[in-house]
Amino acid sequence: MKEKIIIFDTTLRDGEQALQSSLNTQEKIKIALALEEMKIDIIEAGFPISSPGDFKSVQEICKKIKNSTICSLARCVEKDIIIAAKAMSKLDNFRIHLFLGTSKLHIESKLKKNFKEIQDMAIKSVKLAQKYTDDIEFSCEDAGRTSIDDLCKIIEILIKNGVKTINIPDTVGYTVPNEFSKIISELYIRVPNIDQAIISVHCHNDLGMAVGNSISAIQAGARQIEGTITGIGERAGNTALEEVIMAIKTRKKMLNFFTDIKYKKIYKTSKIISNICNISIPINKSIIGKNAFAHSSGIHQDGIIKNRKNYEIMSPKDIGLKKIKFNLTSRSGRAAVKNRMQEMGYTEKDYDLKKLYQKFLKLADEKGQIFDYDLQMLAFIKNNSFKKKYIILKKIFFTVQSFQTTNIYIKIFYNNQIKKINLSTKNGIINGIYKALKKITNINFLLKKITIESIYKENKIWGKVNIVVKYKNEIFYGKNISKDIIKASSKSIIDVLNNILQYNQIKKNIKNS
């Protein structure tokens, strides 16, 4: 019979500690609601004693969350516990999460106490917390470096005193999976009342072992995993919950566990957290990274076309993603090009695959990545007229009129004539360039994303600009490198506009043919 693994999310507490600036109450509520929608069992809403803002956020989250259990962190300090309980007092049921260092290092160098004093502090704190709730979780901080004798001793005492969840944190990400699973196994062998509590694990990723340690722990008997969405947290971060959740789902026959998580909400939740926390998701991040379901190799693409299971162990639909298109690069094979043309609605009768593929390889070597509109240009425009520039930037400059207002002047060659525009903006120069080009060309496009980075080239610092634009439900991409970031931004947008105009011409030609 499968056993449930409880999912405990600490994005709003441990995750926030990794951010350069604190989240406000409304941002925390948005994240909490997303976690609840995903059916996270327990949401650690904060550390109320840490600041008035954190206290208020926990209070407000308690008003909004109806299904997930709300939990607050507290040290084994009287005031911490009272404040944590007060922050959640409007709820009928809530959890207080106590923590105290148990390793010799923490006891002696940080707490300046002995082990007997630590036991007394723990018991006293548990008794106080029980005046407010019977749902107490206790974390033996730095358990990964605590002697097994001391760990067994304090856990037995805690359970005797009514603690329902015992957390074994690898606080500094020091252990490796077989070592961590052995700790959990030893607890089940040596603690006589261990069956009266749920064993939880909270692993950090300093050595990249957080997910591996968490999986090994549930195999050894733990039934609650703590972590964060995307793995954000102190230093190198926490256990990435989406990885654990999908490992349990994907390897269900081997692991024989389940969670109550709504898998299709994983990607949406990760994007919400990424956007609010202003932390980008690495493209190679497992499960939710941009490349997690992307394929560039021609061999892989051919295998995927024949059967996705050849190179995918899970479906992007499982986490709420639509079907992922292949990255078309010079490494892509003929089968991938043909497949993409079919997805766009074209048959081999509409174009010459052999000629298209030859043109494709040449352009892919020049451009790097080929998009749908590139393929259509290559397939349906003769000679090299797909390189035609409909819009050419002639001049651009700006003047700062005041602290908030900037005047922008742009001159372009468009529709066989020179066009100029003066525009004032209060939303930044690049946003002003976007609005000016949109107005002067009368092309109704939406600037979805712009990224700017510095690169070192020819012993100088250059600006590299990448943009993403939406036009008539199609996505277009532009990029430019220049010593002048304003020119690079302008040329990137103009590159996209030229692609849009070329795209429109192709559609018109196909329609008239």
Q: Is the pLDDT of residue 325 over 70?
A: no
pLDDT at residue number 396: 85
3-state DSSP call for residue 96? Answer: strand
pLDDT at residue number 383: 60
3-state DSSP call for residue 5? Answer: coil
CA–CA distance, 24 with 22 (Å, rounded to integer) = 6
Indicate the range of 42-51, 147-156, 296-305, 446-455 predicted with least confidence. Answer: 296-305
Q: Is the pLDDT of residue 386 over 80?
A: no
pLDDT at residue number 305: 67
With contact defined as beta carbons under 8 Å apart, do 298 and 336 qualify?
yes
Of residues 354 and 97, the one with the higher pLDDT is 97
Q: Is the pLDDT of residue 9 over 80?
A: yes
Tokens of 307: 């059967």
Mean pLDDT of 170-177: 97
Of residues 362 and 175, the one with the higher pLDDT is 175
285: which residues sit within 8 A by CB, 6+ positions away?
230, 292
CA–CA distance, 25 with 478 (Å, rounded to integer) = 37
pLDDT at residue number 345: 78
pLDDT band at 464 (very low <50, low <70, confident <90, very high): confident
Indicate the range of 173-177, 297-301, 325-329, 503-507 predicted with least confidence. Answer: 297-301
pLDDT-above-70 percentage for the chain: 94
Mean pLDDT of 81-89: 98
pLDDT at residue number 241: 98
CA–CA distance, 250 with 313 (Å, rounded to integer) = 7
CA–CA distance, 210 with 227 (Å, rounded to integer) = 9
**What is the DSSP-derived secondary structure letter of residue 13?**
I
pLDDT at residue number 89: 97
CA–CA distance, 221 with 491 (Å, rounded to integer) = 59
Q: Is the pLDDT of residue 120 over 90?
A: yes
pLDDT at residue number 109: 94
pLDDT-above-90 percentage for the chain: 56
Q: Is the pLDDT of residue 385 over 60?
A: no
pLDDT band at 422 (very low <50, low <70, confident <90, very high): confident
pLDDT at residue number 452: 85
With contact defined as beta carbons under 8 Å apart, do 140 and 100 qualify?
yes
Give DSSP secondary structure letters for 343-410. Answer: HTT--TTSS-HHHHHHHHHHHHHHHSSB-HHHHHHHHHS-TTGGG--SEEEEEEEEEE-SSS-EEEEE
Mean per-residue pLDDT over the chain, rounded: 90
pLDDT at residue number 194: 97
Q: Which pLDDT tens digit goes with each residue over 214-240?
A: 999 999 999 999 999 999 998 999 999
pLDDT at residue number 242: 98
**Pairing, β 460-471 against β 474-482:** antiparallel
pLDDT band at 343 (very low <50, low <70, confident <90, very high): confident
pLDDT at residue number 298: 63
Q: Is the pLDDT of residue 404 over 90?
A: no
Highest-confidence range of 88-102, 372-386, 415-429, by mean pLDDT? 88-102
Q: Which pLDDT tens digit goes with each residue over 44-64?
A: 999 999 999 999 999 999 999
CA–CA distance, 365 with 189 (Å, rounded to integer) = 61
CA–CA distance, 33 with 29 (Å, rounded to integer) = 6
pLDDT at residue number 163: 98
Q: Is the pLDDT of residue 294 over 80?
A: no
Highest-confidence range of 82-86, 439-443, 490-494, 502-506, by mean pLDDT? 82-86
Q: Is the pLDDT of residue 152 over 70?
A: yes
CA distances from 131 to 128, 167, 244, 325, 489 (A): 6, 21, 34, 56, 61
In order of their start, the domains of the chain are: 3-277 (3.20.20.70), 298-386 (no CATH), 388-512 (3.30.160.270)
Mean pLDDT of 373-388: 71
